[in-house]
Amino acid sequence: MNPKIYRRQIAEIGIEDMVVDVSSLQRAMQTMIELDELEKVLNKIKFNLHTDIRNLRVEYMQKIQDIDELSKKKNMFGRTKSDDDILRKKKTLKKERRANIAAYEIIEDLVNNYLTQIEESRIYIRNHIKKKVK
């Protein structure tokens, strides 16, 4: 899946507009439920990100192996590709791989940041509930 789709999914769940409301016990409990739902969605997104990153790595490994195999084959004049040409192609593929994976890793960092904020919000709500109950 494209990183832009992940960004759109994150925007659609409304985490940016989420307000931790502890004005009453009922509202605090409702906020906890909302946080649980957001966490589930974010964990699914994170899992899909990991899967896409893994698939990208496998795809680029295959491309690099294909270059290695092509380098061993001779062209119609009986020559093999030069080592410089092979290295250049591999280097280009590795740069491309890093750039593609980096886009996913940025989103993964964003998801991890949101998950951390959710956990901190939970702690805040729990402490607030304990104070109200006493």
Sign (positive or negative) of CA dihedral 106, 112, 115, 117: negative
Can you give the pTM of this predicted structure?
A: 0.82
**What's the CA gap between 68 and 41, in Å, rounded?**
41
Residue 15 lies in a domain: no
Structurally, the chain folds into a number of domains equal to 1
Residue 67 lies in a domain: yes
Q: In this predicted model, what pLDDT tens digit does every residue of 84-133 receive, in sequence order?
A: 888 898 899 999 999 999 999 999 999 999 999 999 999 999 998 888 77
> Is a pLDDT exceeding 80 seen at residue 3?
yes
Range of the domain at 62: 3-10+20-133
Residue 122 lies in a domain: yes
CA distances to 3, 27, 87, 101, 120 from 128, in Å? 37, 12, 60, 40, 12
